[in-house]
Amino acid sequence: MAAKNRTWEDKVRKVVPYVAGEQPKDANIIKLNTNENPYPPSEKVREAMEQLAEEADLLRLYPDMDATALVDALAQYLHVDSSRIFVGVGSDDVLALSFMTFFCGGGTLLFPDITYSFYKVWASLYRIPYRTVPLTQDMRIDPAAFKAGPEDGELAGIILPNPNAPTGVEAPQADIEAILQANPACVVIVDEAYVDFGAESALPLLEKYDNLLIVQTFSKSRSMAGLRIGYAVGNEKLIGFLKDVKFSFNSYTLGRPSILMGTASVKDEVYFRETTEKIAKTREWFSGELDRLGFVHPQSRANFVFAKHPAHTGEELLQKLRANGILVRHFAQPGISDYLRITIGRPEQMKEVVRVLEEIL
Amino acid sequence: MAAKNRTWEDKVRKVVPYVAGEQPKDANIIKLNTNENPYPPSEKVREAMEQLAEEADLLRLYPDMDATALVDALAQYLHVDSSRIFVGVGSDDVLALSFMTFFCGGGTLLFPDITYSFYKVWASLYRIPYRTVPLTQDMRIDPAAFKAGPEDGELAGIILPNPNAPTGVEAPQADIEAILQANPACVVIVDEAYVDFGAESALPLLEKYDNLLIVQTFSKSRSMAGLRIGYAVGNEKLIGFLKDVKFSFNSYTLGRPSILMGTASVKDEVYFRETTEKIAKTREWFSGELDRLGFVHPQSRANFVFAKHPAHTGEELLQKLRANGILVRHFAQPGISDYLRITIGRPEQMKEVVRVLEEIL
């Protein structure tokens, strides 16, 4: 029985929100702190926007609540049936709804101890008990560690990014499959926000594991962070549960601009391949330069590199880079506080980063 | 202790989603079923869209997570401080997050028995116990009935639309204030999705009641259902709690197009007044015609009319209108199943509705 005389404030769900990377107003800053893409979206996206302006009067109508055009384009691109795709307002929206749908049914949620820091925030939002699983010394996922321990009771679910963030390290598909094999009784989410820069997707595993949900985003590889589109792929039944929760939350999440421009982006696969490959190539060059400068970093398969220098603290490098007009991300978290997460920008930007680092060191 | 041997499906949050009004593909249909605005958005919105196309490369960056331009424009329009405003992906998003923030703290949620049917869906999504409060015989809100009964324990919260949907009936401000006076210990949400067509907003009550949250939308009066923008106004502390939950759910909900076009709309107050007044005028004319045809309907202050004919069932009229290319909304719910909710379109559309109704009757 609830206590009497509670105020409205006593009844509020109190939470500590996620803190996103800084968005500076100064356009002269080399902004390598939020893993944005340095290249513009496809020319087809701009054309779709012009079409949108010509049809501005259609904004008065509700958008297609199923985002059919976008879902069908993704289905074709991913070679899966449309019934296996769920779309949302960025992959954070997709993940927030997935936590609500799949992870609130009792038991403990597992995710890596060094990972996307929003997982902890969602778990707290929904009051889901969680346990973090340590990475190996060389910052890899240890698949054997992703199973219920005696302290967990049963598992509420498992979530991990591949490649992991902020490390950039890719788990081989065999490791993802080992986790799925060991955990058929909970949903396993593989967050592939950074998969398009050279890593392998878990998509082929969908045929074998009906509890697998793969989440991807338009924010990084498609240069559309400003539009807010993310999506999930899973078996039809699992996607059906997620849709039921979504349609119990907000019928219309993707507006007309997102549906039109998102569809245009998916249809331009040539540009997508070109830009993601350019970024992967710049990453390889930049990683080599970091080696030359004495940095320590795991091999990245994402659009960022996670690096530390034996002679300098992370905080010190962060401030010195900033003083030189370069913004990178730093996490004041035990074990990684000497690392910087540096987004891969255009080649000339990364050359400038190397030049400034040479000066600092 | 949870039972052992549960499958992943056993752990899923299972819900029955909201069913939105049909969105037909046929452009020749007179679409009066989802309360959309018959007029296009402001010309300033189209201009903002053109600007967006010129700056397409900026889509690669995350949007302003605080939607500052939009929030500031709304603050100026509403004559309140920016700290009192919360924005979201349509008012449904704002309401879904408000339920999560304010109504999950224990006790019973109250809302009218004839009202926006999404309230029941959100309550079920979050497993919030609720009790519906009957309208009076003439479809008004009875303010005295909005208080905890012996069966409720304490109240989790109160939500009601003003004007109510689907009735269109406005509760006088004194009634809203009576509900606030009687219920200081829970948040009271006044859902003003339809307030701009001639009803009075509860905004002046914000100074006196720190537990009042007012929700409005761009989908009806601003002709922007396709863009997905809604907002809430409340005291700074209450808005702060809502923001904490929002930033624990999804950092970036409004994309660059929504922020730019939404801001442009708010700044064109002349067009907004013009179109909302035109719709109110058409409503008054159409209500008179319904009287002439023998329909029974409460006086509407919204952009729709809720009407029944003593000689015909709602289902029958719905089908006959549809056969004549006119789509309206019908709710197969006890007590209102003979009513049709007819959105107010352009004068020529409403004349056609009257002509068809004359034929049918």
CB distance B105–A11 less than 8 Å? Answer: yes
CB distance A59–B225 less than 8 Å? Answer: yes
Q: Choose the closest CB to A4 out of B4, B154, B223.
A: B154
What's the rounded mean pLDDT across residues A225-231? 97
Separation in Å, CA of A313 to nearest CA in chain B = 28
| Close Cβ partners of B8 (under 8 Å, ≥ 6 residues apart) | A102, A184, A185, A186, A187, A210, A211
Confidence (pTM): 0.97
What CATH number is given to the structural domain containing B142? 3.40.640.10
For residues B259 and B275, state if they share a domain.
no
| B173: pLDDT strictly greater than 50 | yes
DSSP letter at B106? S
Read off the pLDDT band of A1 (50, 70, 90): very low
Asked if residues A245 and B13 have their Cβ atoms less than 8 Å apart, the reply is yes
For residues B30 and B147, state if they share a domain.
no
What's the rounded mean pLDDT across residues B160-187? 98
Q: What is the pLDDT of residue A4?
A: 61
Q: Choose the closest CB to A227 out of B124, B225, B255.
A: B255
Q: Please check whether residue B216 lies inside any domain of the structure.
A: yes
What's the rounded mean pLDDT across residues A263-280? 98
How many DSSP H helices and E strands does chain A contain?
10, 11
- Domain end, chosen from B267, B284, B307, is at B267
Give the residue from A249, A258, A260 with the most B CB atoms within 10 Å of its CB, the best one to mutate: A249
For residues B56 and B97, state if they share a domain.
yes
Of all residues in chain B, the percent with pLDDT exceeding 70 is 99
- Domain end, chosen from B267, B296, B323, is at B267
* Residue A238 parent element (H or E): helix A236-246
Q: Please check whether residue A11 lies inside any domain of the structure.
A: no
* Residue A306 parent element (H or E): strand A304-307
Read off the pLDDT band of B2 (50, 70, 90): very low
Range of the domain at B205: 43-267
CB distance A8–B185 less than 8 Å? Answer: yes
Minimum Cα–Cα distance from A125: chain B residue: B248
CB distance B125–A39 less than 8 Å? Answer: no
For residues A76 and A163, state if they share a domain.
yes
Length of chain A: 361
Whole-Å CA distances, B166 to A136, A215, B116, B122:
58, 38, 7, 18
| A124: pLDDT strictly greater than 90 | yes
What's the rounded mean pLDDT across residues A117-146? 97
Minimum Cα–Cα distance from A219: chain B residue: B60
CB distance A101–B12 less than 8 Å? Answer: yes
Asked if residues B188 and B179 have their Cβ atoms less than 8 Å apart, the reply is yes
Q: Choose the closest CB to A185 out of B8, B20, B57.
A: B8
The SS3 call for residue A60 is: helix
Q: Six-digit token pair at B48?
A: 């903002």
For residues A153 and A256, state if they share a domain.
yes
For residues B225 and B274, state if they share a domain.
no
Q: Please check whether residue A309 lies inside any domain of the structure.
A: yes
| B211: pLDDT strictly greater than 50 | yes
- Domain end, chosen from A267, A283, A317, is at A267
d(CA A249, CA A236): 20
Minimum Cα–Cα distance from A243: chain B residue: B17
| B164: pLDDT strictly greater than 70 | yes
Q: For A18-32, B160-174, B210-224, which range has the lowest pLDDT when averaged over its residues?
A: A18-32
Dump pLDDT digits (tens) for B275-325. Answer: 999 999 999 999 999 999 999 999 999 999 999 999 999 999 999 999 999
For residues B29 and B49, state if they share a domain.
no
Q: What is the pLDDT of residue B312?
A: 97
Dump pLDDT digits (tens) for B336-358. Answer: 999 999 999 999 999 999 999 99
CB distance B154–A6 less than 8 Å? Answer: yes
CB distance A11–B254 less than 8 Å? Answer: no
Across A120-241, the runs of DSSP E, i.e. the strands, are 130-133, 155-161, 188-191, 212-217, 230-233
Q: Choose the closest CB to B247 out of A7, A18, A60.
A: A18
What's the rounded mean pLDDT across residues B64-68? 97
Read off the pLDDT band of A2 (50, 70, 90): very low
What's the rounded mean pLDDT across residues A2-22? 86
Asked if residues B337 and B275 have their Cβ atoms less than 8 Å apart, the reply is no
| Close Cβ partners of A26 (under 8 Å, ≥ 6 residues apart) | none
Long-range (24+ apart) CB contacts under 8 A made by B148-152 are B148/B107, B148/B108, B151/B108, B152/B107, B152/B108, B152/B110
Q: What is the pLDDT of residue B4?
A: 61
Read off the pLDDT band of A19 (50, 70, 90): confident
What's the rounded mean pLDDT across residues A247-269? 97
Q: For A1-5, A185-189, B344-348, which range has the lowest pLDDT when averaged over its residues?
A: A1-5
Number of structural domains (chain B) is 2
Q: Please check whether residue A6 lies inside any domain of the structure.
A: no
CB distance B36–A61 less than 8 Å? Answer: yes
Asked if residues A266 and A221 have their Cβ atoms less than 8 Å apart, the reply is no
What's the rounded mean pLDDT across residues B39-66? 95
CB distance A186–B8 less than 8 Å? Answer: yes
Separation in Å, CA of A110 to nearest CA in chain B = 15
For residues A75 and A35, state if they share a domain.
no
Q: Please check whether residue B116 lies inside any domain of the structure.
A: yes
For residues B94 and B229, state if they share a domain.
yes
CB distance A59–B255 less than 8 Å? Answer: no
Separation in Å, CA of B68 to nearest CA in chain A = 12
| A194: pLDDT strictly greater than 70 | yes
Query: Cα(first)–Cα(last) distance of chain B, in Å?
Result: 63
What's the rounded mean pLDDT across residues A188-194? 98
Q: Please check whether residue B81 lies inside any domain of the structure.
A: yes
Q: Please check whether residue B2 lies inside any domain of the structure.
A: no
| B84: pLDDT strictly greater than 90 | yes
CB distance A250–B96 less than 8 Å? Answer: yes
The SS3 call for residue A123 is: helix
Interstrand relation of A230-233 and A212-217 (parallel, antiparallel or unpaired) = antiparallel
What region, left, alpha or beta, does residue A198 occupy, with left being phi > 0 and alpha being psi -120 to 50 degrees?
left
CB distance B225–A252 less than 8 Å? Answer: yes
* Residue A87 parent element (H or E): strand A85-88
d(CA A180, CA A195): 19
What's the rounded mean pLDDT across residues B31-54? 95
Query: Which residues on neighbouring strands pair with residue B231, listed in sequence order?
Result: B87, B216
User: What is the residue-wise DSSP string for A26-38?
Assistant: -TTSEEESS---S
For residues A137 and A230, state if they share a domain.
yes
Q: Choose the closest CB to B20 out of A37, A52, A65.
A: A65
Three state DSSP letters for B136-172: CCCCCCCHHHCCCCCCCCCEEEEEEECCCCCCCCCCC
Separation in Å, CA of B111 to nearest CA in chain A = 17
What CATH number is given to the structural domain containing B326? 3.90.1150.10
Minimum Cα–Cα distance from A220: chain B residue: B60
Whole-Å CA distances, A227 to A38, A73, A266, B226, B258:
15, 17, 14, 14, 9
For residues A196 and A155, state if they share a domain.
yes
Across chain B, the runs of DSSP E, i.e. the strands, are 30-32, 85-88, 108-112, 130-133, 155-161, 188-191, 212-217, 230-234, 304-307, 326-330, 340-343
Return the half-sphere exposure (C-beta side, CA atoms, 13 A cut-off) of residue A247.
Answer: 19
For residues B182 and B331, state if they share a domain.
no
Dump pLDDT digits (tens) for A24-66. Answer: 878 889 999 999 999 999 999 999 999 998 999 999 999 999 9
Q: Please check whether residue A3 lies inside any domain of the structure.
A: no
What's the rounded mean pLDDT across residues A253-264? 97
| Close Cβ partners of A105 (under 8 Å, ≥ 6 residues apart) | A156, B6, B10, B11, B12, B13
Read off the pLDDT band of A23 (50, 70, 90): confident
